[in-house]
A and B are shown apart, each in its own frame.
Chain A
């Protein structure tokens, strides 16, 4: 039997952890039907045919964020067999607010009451049978991070889906709201059926004044008048308006239920601990220095001590492998063309990129820990004021920080931003945060030209990216992105120990992407470059690559880069191939300069650059348009090709101007 399960819950309720426990590694990323919002899907371990879809984390089913609309449309239109509503037991009131709205959707539902280990630890007792009775749906206590109760949850969900039991009619509304919802129910019965909307949900949303549902219902003129009258009447009796009335009614019901089923002994240990940690981490004077310290520590660990030595080790290993293969190939009677392709093309190209794997692994590991511990919302909290000056909100800090890892997930993270203006602006600025794929370029150039000042040059590049982003933000804020700042309402979740399984899964996703790129796009690009540089336009193998096809193509772009100090066809070619993936800049130089192994590549770079033009080249690489994967992500999130094209053109112009200034001012000074 095939069962489709939809996983719904508040952000930070442990939804992703539960999803990982349910599905293990059988996850697949896809888009929700009809929209560009990505969701994960997977099969439940040990239950073939039971599919889980992880819907976005939401607080309500109001139509004010894309995530909320997508989630409710998914449930109504795709009709999953059962909803697993994950509820954080340590924050039960706010979590049940969503539950009450989900109950109206007439889909079988099971509540997974998460974080029960914390609840027990704190000596709090929750009467689960009575909670289940009060809501009319099964409630299964679980602890997603400790993998407790998952088995019972799956069974309860399968059973509920099998019985197709929708909760018995239990009203959680009282007085005037009750009357209004029921009167409206009778009026709109037919229209709700025609619009394929659950009746109770349609009635509640009509009373609430939800424009999207009202449009979909397509009510008749006389009915609209009657409904208006019913709502007016309700508002008059309650002395408040329709929206406040509904929210108030739900919270009143929840407070009543919670009062009866929970015996509480004050704030939880975890919460008190969180407050204590925040006394330091969001302290008036310490917050910003600590944040800077953490960022410096992350960069030091990634690019300094640990990452570089591991990278060198892996690089040496790859060179060994290349030598062994070279020897083996020489002993066979393989054609010299194929030999050259494997050694000079594939090994040099893919190998030079693969050696950066340790650096990228460490960076993503640390960023994942920062994300899962709950620190990032705090950063958003104390950075909001600064970011607002730039026309953004504190929330933009999440995508911007992720941008140091990879622009693709960072651009996808912008969909959590509540306004289109903030989203567009953040998408535009994210690529200025130097992504980890650009690291190989910096590492190779600093080894070649700035051996004594490695750290300084690296640091100055990262800072330049941030400063350029700030200048652009200020420029855009006062021109095309002028407008009101959006509200900033954000929950600060308790700090938690990151669940290693989730950190590992997320890290693996990113590393796997990097390896996949190395063996697909970069492998392919490497072969193409090798072909283009080994043959001339008449398809004869050339002695030296400056007479090759590649040289002819690169030469066309030379005039554009000449004012920046690197009017060399090899530099131009490297920048063009860098569009497939930034690491390809390095592999392109490796091939074009005939580097025998990755260690000797920096020595050959002096053929193309002076230290000053090398620095201008680095600035250009830092800022110019992102790789195709990031461009595709930007197009998806902006929903417009033109927007994405305008964005990348803007970035490239900025890069040109910045590199031009660096080179020409440098010329004057030096």
Chain B
């Protein structure tokens, strides 16, 4: 059972992102965003295409850098950490789910799920039970030795969900997790994601354009007019 602390996992302080358009004009995606992500809560961010939802998520997850402002992870400014410390945070604190699942094609289902655990030099035996438990939970125990290329889109995304939970992260960052799925599979992933984060006592930050999906989160935000607004 995960110990729930009262302090936040991530603090976004005056976060801004600007893209260099190649001309004298700079493209301001969002500015002065402040957000606190607490333990064991789910958050959703919606907004129109191009408003920078995914960019914001990627900055939070350390996949991109803000133009201004800070991302405070565990009380430390993420940008001030060295490569090794950043890697450790990505491995231990975050779990990622991408729209296109991004499974490793050279590895089977079980290995894909265990990958975040193995990357940090842990033994396969130590993670086997947890990986199997997660795959059983998503109904894929019978497919553990299958390669990703023979799985359906929905199955791939379920593997991706398991992989994100493998290292007992504090926060799952999900970027349009149902974006490339049909309605039926999207529904399965939605239900699975919310029930799993509840079971595992993990925080969830969900970026989606699907308002129904987003409405299931504890805290709902919308990215509009270059700022983050509380939807409630």
A binds B: no
